[in-house]
Chain A
Amino acid sequence: MSDSELRKDDTTATTVARVAAGEWIALGAFVALALFVHQQILGPLTDAGYADGDAVNNAALFPRLIANLILGLCAIQFVQLLRRRVQLSAEFMYDAPRENALRCLVGFGILVGYLLGLPVLGFYPATVLFLLAMFLTLKTRPVWIAALVAVLLTLAIGFVFEELLRVVLPLGRFGLTL
């Protein structure tokens, strides 16, 4: 086997191991979800008197059924994960370099920053900064073009929603509006 083939094999094995770990985590999350539903039924719903009685009063009836269904499905998935070799999901077909994964993470970070800044700065300043940061993260150069597109796009979308659809966009401390 050539060096490149060995490397490719190694990469596939690592990816499969990562998928396998992810599959178990996802399964665990679904079990936790079902248990959480039962906890809510036994806790707040029982305390409030909505976990039994007739079909109208029993608000826990259907959630209990669904939670039990999820637990049953998790049991099937558990057996399937034990029995078969993990297959790569279609989404794993992307040959994603680490750098792109990092950009995605940065993108989510920028979005969090935007949501935090939106009520403070208001729609227009926060959106220009958000777009500029996103453009730069996605390698838009030169910077002045990225800034220009960010401003124009913000104004265009602001115009459509604020002027045409009469949506009150967040004003923030500066109170900027069209």
Chain B
Amino acid sequence: MFDILLSGLDSFQSWQVIGGVLFGTVVGMIVGVLPGLGPLIGIILMLPLTFHMEPVAGMGLLISIFVAGSCGGAISAIVLRIPGTPLAAATLLDGYPMARNGRAADAIGLAIAASSISGVLGGIVMIFGAPLLASVATNFGPPEYFALAITGLLSISVVSDESTVKGLMTGALGVLLAMIGSDPLSNAARFTFGTNALSGGIHIVAIIVGLFALSEAAFQIIEGGYRKKPDVQPVRISLRSIKMTLRHWRNLLRSSAIGVFFGALPGASGIIASFTAYAIARGRPLAGDAEFGKGAEGGVVATESANNAACGGAMIPTLALAIPGDAATAVLLGALLLLGLVPGPQMFALSGDAVGGIFLAFLVSNVVLFFVGILMTPLFVAVLKLRKQYLVPTVLLLSIVGVYSVQSRVDDLWAMLVFGMLGFGLRRYGYPLAPIVIGLILGPIAEGSFRRTLLFSDDGAWFILERPIATTILAIDLIVLIFALTPKKTRQQIFGWMMSRSS
């Protein structure tokens, strides 16, 4: 464990990495604060920048956005009762009442300190957990990788908000999009219409930026309120917030553990973690604290520590098994691949220094989050006054220039536009976009592993059943899939029957 960290020191000790972490933290806080953006859009907008950086610096930048963006949403939740990100939805339950009681600064201070401390705790679990998981998976062969890729594809589709079937359909769409271009095994041109422009496939950055950033800009325009400027009072927070947070140390540790657990479960995410931590903390209030729902410090500590600890948890399967837990970690996984690092057990063996650098960047970004949060909260609160009429064109321009900068090709911009319209249409009719990203990233892994499995087998795909780990993973996948496709009413009946049997 420590040797990985030590080997990462060299790649971490550069101005590019430290600057990337600092810049990423500020950007993460800003995209977290602004309702409608969030860490995912922040990571997507900054992804093209990483092509001009060293791999560890690039990952440091994106991870800092991931970490700070997960915390920034709390500021708008506390000040305006509008969570900047869905992750902060539970924070407003007590954060906003605290602000109404004249304690906005305390609430934001608690949110930032709890996020920072729990982020470090989550990072420590990641540093121990990811190499351990990777070492277990070192002997995995193509059948096991195929089974894991299917798990990743299924998990995000199955927990889609709207419909499992739609989630699976968009996941399959992502897999198909990844197949455009030359087949890596046979060199056959697939879905290229005979043109050279498509022989290398469509660049993943153009697809992701189009799907998410462009469609979000379109929805922001449709929503209206271009000139709306919320009335927010200036807020200053102090170092005292760390003392206030540590008064809730039991809550902090418990919520961090919940966060890491749910974060590490593919498809579960920090939102479930923060609501679960809140529900548990509510049953164990601290003496002297306000009632939950009426401005309890414990409520803010629980939700914010859970959703930031979830970041560390989510990185464990992402780095060790190449299974992203949500769309943000899927893009991080894609970024790793684009920067020349292949996530999974091999990365720990072959690029230990880069992994160590990424671990250090994760830890440092959580520490930086605290100081940036304390010093720059007045700026982040002021950002809330930014009108949509300026914000939307700025996001559009950053998307365009970012996509162009990757390959200096206007063709990529047209692809981005097409995927922007596709993303808008899909979202409009309740088709989730996150499975497309997972499909794009895990599709090639699934296909490659599947075909390699067949190559080594005389019994065709049945060979997988001779491998106990792969069979177990696929059996669990099948059960989850059948359960997810079962109508809600039948599921409730099964639950009711199980509960009555157990009681």
Binding site for B on A (CB under 8 A): 19, 22-23, 26, 30, 33, 37, 40, 44-45, 48, 50, 54-59, 61-63, 66-67, 69-70, 73-74, 76-77, 80, 89-92, 94, 96-97, 100-101, 103-104, 107-108, 111-112, 114-115, 118-119, 127, 130-131, 134-135, 138-140, 149, 153-154, 157, 161, 165-170
Report chain B residues within 8 Å CB of A48: 188-189
Please give me the 4 A-B residue pairs with the lowest Cβ-Cβ distance, nearest first: A89-B430, A55-B454, A50-B188, A59-B188
Q: Is the interface of A mostly helix, strand, loop or mixed?
A: helix
Whether A134 lies near B393 (C-beta < 8 A) is yes
Cβ contacts B412-425/A at 8 Å (1 or 0 each): 01100100110001
CA distance A112 to B400 in the complex (A): 12
| B405 interface residue (CB < 8 Å to A) | yes
Cβ contacts B212-230/A at 8 Å (1 or 0 each): 0000011101111011000
Whether A70 lies near B428 (C-beta < 8 A) is no
Q: Contacts A55-B454, A73-B169, A140-B389 given: A62-B179 contact, CB under 8 Å? A: yes
Q: Interface stretch among B445-453, B465-473, B495-503?
A: B445-453
Report chain B residues within 8 Å CB of A89: 162, 427-430
Between A and B, how many residue pairs show CB distances below 8 Å? Answer: 177
| B336 interface residue (CB < 8 Å to A) | no
Report chain B residues within 8 Å CB of A19: 429
Which chain A residue lies CB-closest to B425?
Answer: A26
Report chain B residues within 8 Å CB of A55: 185, 451-455
Whether B447 lies near A56 (C-beta < 8 A) is no
CA distance A77 to B410 in the complex (A): 37
Whether B394 lies near A153 (C-beta < 8 A) is yes
Partner of A56, one of B163, B186, B389, B446: B186
**Shortest distance in angstroms between A135's beta carbon and chain B's nearest beta carbon?**
6
Q: Contacts A33-B173, A55-B454, A167-B405 given: A100-B183 contact, CB under 8 Å? A: no
Binding site for A on B (CB under 8 A): 49, 52, 161-163, 165-166, 168-169, 172-173, 175-176, 179, 183, 185-186, 188-191, 194, 217-219, 221-224, 226-227, 388-390, 392-394, 396-398, 400-401, 404-405, 408, 410, 413-414, 417, 420-421, 425-431, 446-447, 450-455, 485
List 26 contacting pairs A-B, 8 Å CB cutoff, sorted by A.
Answer: A22-B429, A26-B425, A26-B426, A33-B176, A48-B189, A50-B183, A54-B454, A54-B455, A55-B454, A55-B455, A56-B185, A57-B186, A66-B172, A69-B168, A73-B172, A74-B169, A89-B429, A91-B219, A100-B223, A107-B221, A108-B218, A131-B397, A139-B227, A149-B390, A157-B401, A167-B401
Partner of B223, one of A23, A66, A96: A96
Whether A23 lies near B429 (C-beta < 8 A) is yes
Q: Contacts A59-B190, A111-B396 given: A101-B185 contact, CB under 8 Å? A: no
CA distance A59 to B182 in the complex (A): 9
**Shortest distance in angstroms between B447's beta carbon and chain A's nearest beta carbon?**
4
**Shortest distance in angstroms between A84's beta carbon and chain B's nearest beta carbon?**
10
CA distance A127 to B401 in the complex (A): 10
Which chain B residue lies CB-closest to A65?
Answer: B450
Whether B165 lies near A73 (C-beta < 8 A) is yes
Give 18 A-B pairs besides A22-B429, A153-B393 with Cβ atoms closer than 8 angstroms: A19-B429, A40-B190, A44-B194, A55-B185, A56-B455, A62-B450, A63-B191, A67-B176, A74-B169, A76-B165, A77-B169, A80-B163, A111-B396, A115-B417, A119-B410, A131-B397, A139-B389, A168-B408
Whether A26 lies near B183 (C-beta < 8 A) is no
CA distance A55 to B454 in the complex (A): 6
Which chain B residue lies CB-closest to A107?
Answer: B221
Report chain B residues within 8 Å CB of A73: 165, 168-169, 172
Which chain A residue lies CB-closest to B402?
Answer: A161
Report chain B residues within 8 Å CB of A119: 410
Partner of B397, one of A54, A74, A127: A127
CA distance A59 to B444 in the complex (A): 12
Report chain B residues within 8 Å CB of A50: 183, 186, 188
Q: Which of B175, B188, B392 has the most CB of A within 10 A?
A: B188
**Shortest distance in angstroms between A144's beta carbon and chain B's nearest beta carbon?**
15
Whether B169 lies near A70 (C-beta < 8 A) is yes
**Shortest distance in angstroms between B18's beta carbon and chain A's nearest beta carbon?**
16
Q: Which of A57, A74, A103, A167 has the most CB of B within 10 A?
A: A167
Q: Which of A23, A37, A56 has the most CB of B within 10 A?
A: A56
CA distance A92 to B218 in the complex (A): 13
Q: Contacts A108-B218, A138-B388, A153-B397 given: A70-B172 contact, CB under 8 Å? A: yes
CA distance A59 to B192 in the complex (A): 13
CA distance A136 to B133 in the complex (A): 53
Whether A63 lies near B190 (C-beta < 8 A) is yes
Whether A107 lies near B165 (C-beta < 8 A) is no
Q: Contacts A66-B172, A153-B397, A165-B405 given: A138-B389 contact, CB under 8 Å? A: yes
**Shortest distance in angstroms between B418's beta carbon and chain A's nearest beta carbon?**
11
Whether A94 lies near B219 (C-beta < 8 A) is yes
Which chain A residue lies CB-closest to B421?
Answer: A108
CA distance A76 to B388 in the complex (A): 40
CA distance A107 to B424 in the complex (A): 13
